[in-house]
Structure formats: C-alpha cells, structure tokens
Chains A and B, each alone.
Chain A
Amino acid sequence: MKRNRMLLPVLMAVLNVSACVLEPSVKVKIEIPGTPAVRLDAYREIVIADFWQEKESKDFDLNKALTEYLRDELEHQFKGKLSSQAIAWPSAEAIQDKDFWRQALANPEGRLILTGKAEFNQDVRKALLAANRRAIDDGPFAPEKAWAERKNFSLKLDIILIRPDSGEILFQKDFQETMDYENKRQPAEFAFNDLLQRVRLKLFRLLFSSEKIQERYLLSK
C-alpha cells in the first residue's frame, strides 16, 4: 500500500485554517465611555457670550440663533445655571487676551464663558448630471434637465471655554460642517440649524463624555 506523504501536512493546514475561520464568535455592540474634556460639573454657571464673526450673516442674527440653540441644548445636559451675555470682542485676537476675559464678567468665580468664532457661508453650486434620475416624477411630458443646482452651506465653528477668573482657555475645538440642499429655497437659518446639530453631536461627546457605540467580536472559546 502506497502511503501518501502529503496527507498529514494538508490535513494540518486544513485544521489550522478551520481553527482560524470557524472560531465561534459573537458580534456585540458595546458602549465605550469617554473622558470629558472639561469637568463642567465643577462650575455653577456657563455664560454664553457672542461669537466672533469675520462677516455678519445678512439672512439672520447668527449670534442670537447660536446662543439660543446652545442654551436649549445645554439646558438638558448641564446641571448648573445657564445665561447669555453680549461681550463685544475688540478683535479676533482677543481670544488670547487673558486680561480681556478676566474683565468680562463681574463675578467670575465658578463661572465659565462659552464663546468662539463662527463663520457661516452659502453659495449655489451647479453640477452636470449624466441623466435626470427624477424625470419621471415631473410627468411623462416634462423636459429633461441636464444641470442640477445645489445650495451649499458651510459652518466653521471654533468653540472655546474660558475661565473668566484667570482668562485661561480650558477647551478649544474647531468644527467644520457643510451640507448641500437640492431645495434652492432652503433658508439659511434652517441650514444653520442642521449644521449646528452635527456640531452638537461632536461637541457634547467631548464635553459630556457620552458613550460611543462600537461593534466588537467576542470570541466565545
């Protein structure tokens, strides 16, 4: 009887691959806690101050919308008091001016200033589409269109948390979001709100250490 010398190595290889591939595992979702960038619970009040704008938005009062939004959102996360105050920045560089921030509030103890820089832009962009995928919606006799217009909005937000007692910057983070809308009538204020929601998700994850959900594979052997 002829003995097959190759049988053993092949069998070993198969078993080895099986061990890798067939390892029983369970897919799980786990919530990974984060570490807050700032211990906000150490402060009794957050004062939301005006944001610096290189150019004013002509469609709506950006500072008012931003302040109201942040206040509404922080209200359900921050246990302390929330207030807003108009603090006129002398220049964009004032952010680094500790003296300026030390003098910004009358009673700075236990308070934080939430402020930053905001830049909100909009434009209409055109794109040449190969085919009008929605021609059917306009009825069988509507002419096809080759050009598609999108209204583009972008928001740059530099969020800063400052200790008014020392003028020290505790937290600083840049966010940049853009969105395109097919609806050319999309108001700037509504787009601003949509962009802010994206910023909020990222900002609050940093400030309040909300859990991240991640998928993992548990080996059950």
Chain B
Amino acid sequence: MIRFNQVYKRYPGGYEALKNVSFEIAEGEMIFLTGHSGAGKSTLLNLIAAIERPSTGSVVIKGQNVGSLKGGALPYLRRNLGLIFQDHKLLFDRSVFDNVMLPLQICGFDHRESDKRVRAALDKVGLLQREKANPIALSGGEQQRLCIARAIVNRPSILLADEPTGNLDMDYAADIMGIFKSFHQVGVTLLIASHDAGILRQFGARTLALKQGELQP
C-alpha cells in the first residue's frame, strides 16, 4: 500500500530530514511512527501526501510513484488520503458542519449525499451536537476530533495522522485512539505519528521509530 525505497530528503542548506528510509506498509495495517520532535516524522508524512517531494529514492502509494506525479494528478492522490494535521488546519470562517463538508464540495458530491456523509462523520467522532458551532468555540480535543471527521468524510483508504494526541490529556487521547482503532477494524490503513510512546504502548501495533532522520531497526 505504502512503500519507501531508500528515501532521502535534503533541504536547501544541507540539512537532511530523512536518510535512507525504506519500509513497506500493507493494506489495512495500523502503524505507529515514533521519534522525538525533529526526527523527521512530519517530513515522512508530507512525502506520502506529496506535500513535499523526496530528494532521492521513491515513495510508492498503491503502485504510484508519488515523487514523480505531475501537479495535475496530486489532487486525485490526496482524495484517497485522510490527513489529520498537527495544527488541525480548521477554517474558522465557517461552522463545524461546513468544515467537514469541504472535502465533499471539492470532490463534487451532490447535496443530499454529502449532508448524510457529513453527519455520519460527525457522529463517529461525537460532534453531531456541535455541527452549527464555530470551530473556535471547540476545545482542543474537539478540534482534533473535528479534524478527524474532515479526514474521514471522504472515506479514504489511507489515514495519516500527525501527533493526533499532541496536546491532549490522557482521557481525550485514549478517546481518539479508540476512534482510530475503529477505523482499523473496518480496513483502513493507518499511519499515526506521535512522540508520546506511552499512549502507543497500549496498542499492540507495529512501530516505525525514527531517530535523526533514520529508521531504527
């Protein structure tokens, strides 16, 4: 499903965020990506979503070499991915409902179908009662769940989460991990990056550990 082949990512100035990273994730797997901040977790996720391109090596998703995709093909790759951002990237000029609606508008769903899907996604993360609220009025945990709802409303086959439990207390974090687990159970491929080893230990999933841009054995 996701394959990295000797991937390097160098930034102008010579800094190497990723060094010789190779791994493979099978369909339906749930993987944890760990490491200190600055170890290259976000860069790795960015390479999968083609937000950045590898300097050398190849990133292959569903048989497509993402690094060499033309700009016009990127949107269709990203529609297959659910992205959960560290900083949420919610839009505060519209309601909770409309935030989740955005991916469906982009894909051109018709009104009735998309309304249904938005409510289903909000229901799954427990925000159905807040659909008319502005995201700014939500707590940190709720904002994170809203971000998850937006990522899954499109029913992507791959879900990438960057520090989804970042600033949350244990209860909220466990809550969110529970949500991820339910996606895993319906066959979604998950890649969850977190520096918080404690929360990950509770789940017996395969772990990829990054240290200074290198994958630890």
Interaction A to B: no
